[in-house]
């Protein structure tokens, strides 16, 4: 009964198909192509003879004609033919095949037909009711097709599609899109299809006429138009994007992309990319001319004269030897609002870098430089660091049963209108790990470092604790630590559980922290990732010079389909020496705040990570961060929430309190249809950040869209709204129409 229902459903689907022409049948034919190898037709590739096999053979000596019947197979130099009947006129060399015909060329393309007239070379001929299934994907059908000696094919009154013509149940279906044409020419040597007098059909809608054009059918790249984009927003008006790709070489290409707007002058985008044996690089540039706002702090910014505006984004990496490599990236914009104005990027800082590296199993060396361009409204460019250069060398050595890592580092930072700093240090860290007879894991650590600093113009740094003292300064750092873990493992609910108490003792003498500038250790905060770190500061310029005990525990459960992991801990400062850590970081008092992380995963359907910090006195939540993913690949919800309630002095910008929520999701409501959306909302208010202008519920941006996507087509409409004005990058609505077709537009 099930079999009957399936066949009836397929028959109904076939009856509903609407083909541009009855003879342009793109459906599969009920015949298998001739096999690539057949013992009965084993012939060297350079043999010029035609090999064949058949169920029966009849020879007319008077007419000099050979008739082969019943599963006829013919083979010659990679061309293979299968038919029910083949008549070969040896006088004229004409071969006529009828009944369930399938012809395969050396490239693997298969041509089907009702009848075919060939020469005895099997390379050229005329096929009636032709269907060609390409090895690279896609198919063509025609009332009449011609195979030429060079392997090319010309199809008259034809149709082409790269889409599936059957459902997953094997029922026939109308392709999502197809092209019908008066003439289609297929060139296997170029892996390209040429159309003349074509029309484009989408979901069976009325045809759209097309000019003469060609498109690739293989996996390589060719010169030609890429898929266009259409967008509408408040500032620039209607935008049409029509990229064109130039194939300069098999490993090089140039893409020119004009952006045509209805409200402003056009913008040109160019991208050049090249791949070599040792590496690759890519550079993208944008250029236009428009009015821009220089005064970004006013509610109604004024426009300047029309100005040149642009952006460069490049990246490169080359492996010089198995150990040595060089890499770099460049991101430079003409002004602070260009990227947002033209919806290229929402980054608030651009970083340009260059690096030379050497890596082997026990040694690391890097010579690096970077430059920062700020796009923030109130951030002076003159205060941005330029590092020329940073050098870092590390060497790992086996010593006394443990591992010794030696490090040497230098850094020179300059600013055009700010503090300049030069730093150098040498350090060594020795770790010895042992397992006791009772199962404890014990790690002993010894650390020593010697620093030298030289700084100028420290008064140009606003935050006093970041400045240091002008001139040359030196300091010494040392620490001893012991870390003990004791895991207990047992059964739990049909799975396993592991409880691991942990204790760490660190002893470190007083360090002259405030005598040297703080360039890389400003955003300090107690969290689960640095709870047991030797130094809870993020960088090298500040060192946690206290003796302390850190204790905590981790509980992990693994049952079929579910994993659960939670960790919590706290530290206690053994000395009464004042700390440089500011209030609100969770580390300023002798007892630190409680910090932890909980992770829950249920198969591939649920993933929830919760990070938190609780005030040691009243258990107030100082950090509350949740990231959750629920759903499958096609239907899911992403949710993120962050609240930092640390009450840190407002002048320390790197540690300001924030609160925000992020939501995103996708719902597949049909096999190929889905809706999606996302939003970011700033929940910060004046009580959390006195400098914030938010009222406690300030949307940043959101988007909502609908999309159709199958094996050969992606069609979507997206609505996005931005709520923040920054100069000429204004808030408002924008709409994006996306249409991407397999093989078409590349």
* pLDDT the model gives residue 19: 40
CA-nearest of 412, 483, 473 to 447 is 483
Contact (Cβ atoms closer than 8 angstroms) between residue 247 and residue 253 = yes
* pLDDT the model gives residue 267: 96
In tens, the pLDDT along 299-336 reads 555 556 778 999 999 999 999 999 999 999 999 999 99
* pLDDT the model gives residue 120: 66
DSSP state of 123: S
* pLDDT the model gives residue 357: 97
Q: Pick out the chain residues at pLDDT < 70.
A: 1-24, 36-48, 120-123, 218-220, 294-304, 649-655, 688-694, 743-746
For Cα atoms 729, 735, 741, give the angle at the middle one, nearest 5 degrees.
Answer: 125
* pLDDT the model gives residue 746: 45
SS3 618: coil
Share of the chain above pLDDT 70, in %: 90
Provide CB contacts within 8 A for 392, sequence distance 6+. Answer: 364, 365, 366, 368, 407, 408, 409
- Domain annotation for the chain: domains and CATH numbers: 51-220 (2.60.450.10)
Cα dist. 703→183, 381, 719 in Å? 43, 32, 5
- φ, ψ (nearest 5 deg) of residue 362: -130, 5
Query: What's the CA gap between 143 and 159, in Å, rounded?
Result: 10
CA-nearest of 719, 698, 711, 713 to 744 is 713
Query: What's the CA gap between 292 and 303, in Å, rounded?
Result: 6
For 739: left if phi > 0, alpha if psi spans -120 to 50, otherwise beta; the answer is beta
SS3 342: coil
Query: What's the CA gap between 483 and 552, in Å, rounded?
Result: 11
- Write the DSSP assignment of 167-210 as a string of letters: -TTS-B---SEEEEEEEEEEETTTTEEEEEEEEEEETTPPPEE-
* pLDDT the model gives residue 676: 96
- φ, ψ (nearest 5 deg) of residue 646: -105, -15
């Amino acid at each position: 009964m099930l079999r009957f229902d399936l066949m009836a459903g397929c028959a109904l689907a076939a009856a509903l198909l609407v083909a541009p022409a009855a003879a342009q049948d793109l459906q599969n034919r009920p015949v298998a192509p001739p096999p690539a190898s057949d013992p009965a037709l084993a012939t060297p590739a350079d043999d010029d003879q035609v090999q064949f096999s058949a169920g029966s053979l009849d020879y007319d000596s008077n007419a000099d004609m050979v008739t082969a019947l019943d599963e006829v197979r013919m083979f010659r130099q990679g061309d293979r033919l299968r038919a029910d009947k083949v008549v070969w006129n040896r006088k004229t060399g004409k071969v006529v095949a009828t009944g369930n015909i399938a012809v395969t060329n050396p490239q693997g393309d298969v041509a089907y037909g009702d009848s075919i007239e060939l020469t005895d070379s099997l390379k050229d001929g005329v096929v009636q009711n032709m269907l060609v299934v390409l090895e690279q994907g896609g198919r063509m059908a025609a009332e009449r097709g011609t195979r030429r000696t060079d392997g090319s094919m010309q199809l008259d009154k034809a149709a082409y599609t790269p889409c599936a013509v059957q459902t997953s149940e094997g029922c026939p279906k109308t392709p999502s899109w197809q092209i019908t044409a008066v003439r289609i020419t297929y060139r296997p040597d170029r892996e390209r299809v040429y159309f003349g007098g074509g029309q484009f059909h989408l979901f069976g809608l009325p045809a759209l006429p097309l000019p003469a054009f060609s498109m690739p059918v293989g996996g390589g790249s060719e010169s030609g138009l890429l898929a266009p984009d259409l967008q509408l927003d408040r500032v620039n008006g209607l935008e049409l994007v029509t990229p064109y790709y130039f194939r300069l070489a098999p490993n090089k290409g140039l893409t020119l992309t004009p952006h045509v707007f209805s409200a402003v002058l056009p913008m040109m985008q160019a991208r050049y990319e090249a791949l070599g044996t040792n590496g690759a690089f890519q550079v993208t540039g944008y250029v236009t001319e428009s009015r821009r706002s220089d005064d970004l702090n006013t509610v109604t910014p004024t426009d300047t004269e029309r100005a040149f505006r642009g952006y460069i984004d490049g990246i490169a990496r080359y492996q010089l030897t198995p150990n040595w490599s060089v890499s770099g990236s460049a991101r430079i914009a003409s002004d602070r609002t260009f990227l947002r104005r033209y919806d290229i990027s929402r980054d608030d800082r651009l970083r340009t870098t260059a690096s030379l590296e050497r890596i082997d199993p026990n040694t690391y060396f890097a010579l690096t430089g970077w430059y920062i361009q700020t796009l923030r409204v109130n951030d002076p460019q003159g205060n941005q660091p330029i590092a020329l250069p940073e050098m870092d060398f590390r060497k790992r050595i086996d010593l006394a049963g443990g591992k010794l890592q030696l490090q040497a580092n230098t850094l020179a930072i300059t600013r055009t209108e700010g503090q300049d700093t030069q730093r150098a240090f040498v350090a060594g860290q020795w770790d010895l790990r042992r397992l006791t007879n009772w199962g404890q894991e014990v790690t002993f650590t010894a650390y020593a470092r010697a620093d030298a600093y030289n700084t100028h113009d420290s008064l140009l740094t606003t935050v006093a604790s970041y400045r240091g003292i002008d001139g040359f300064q030196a300091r010494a750092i040392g620490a001893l630590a012991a870390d003990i873990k004791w895991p207990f493992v047992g059964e739990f609910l049909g799975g396993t559980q592991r409880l691991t108490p942990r204790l760490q003792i660190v002893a470190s003498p007083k360090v002259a922290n405030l005598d040297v500038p703080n360039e890389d250790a400003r955003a300090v905060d107690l969290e689960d990732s640095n709870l047991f770190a030797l130094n809870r500061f993020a960088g090298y310029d500040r060192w946690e010079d206290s003796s302390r005990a850190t204790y905590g525990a981790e509980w992990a459960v693994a049952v079929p389909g579910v994993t659960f992991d939670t960790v919590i801990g706290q530290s206690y400062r053994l000395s009464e020496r004042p700390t440089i850590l500011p209030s609100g970081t969770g580390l300023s008092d002798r007892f630190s705040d409680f910090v932890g992380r909980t992770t829950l995963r249920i198969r591939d359907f649920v993933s929830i990570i919760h990070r938190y910090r609780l005030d040691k006195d009243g258990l107030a939540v100082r950090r509350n961060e949740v990231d959750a993913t629920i759903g499958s690949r096609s239907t899911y919800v992403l949710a993120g929430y962050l609240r930092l309630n640390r009450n840190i002095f407002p002048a320390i910008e790197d540690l300001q309190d924030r609160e925000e929520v992020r939501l995103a999701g996708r719902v597949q409501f049909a096999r190929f249809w889905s809706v999606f959306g996302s939003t970011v909302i700033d929940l910060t208010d004046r009580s959390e950040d006195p400098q914030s202008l938010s009222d406690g519920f300030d949307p940043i941006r959101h988007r909502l869209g609908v999309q159709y996507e199958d094996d050969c087509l992606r069609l979507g409409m997206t609505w996005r709204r931005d709520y923040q004005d920054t100069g000429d990058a204004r808030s408002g609505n924008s709409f994006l129409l996306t249409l991407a077709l397999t093989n078409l537009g590349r």
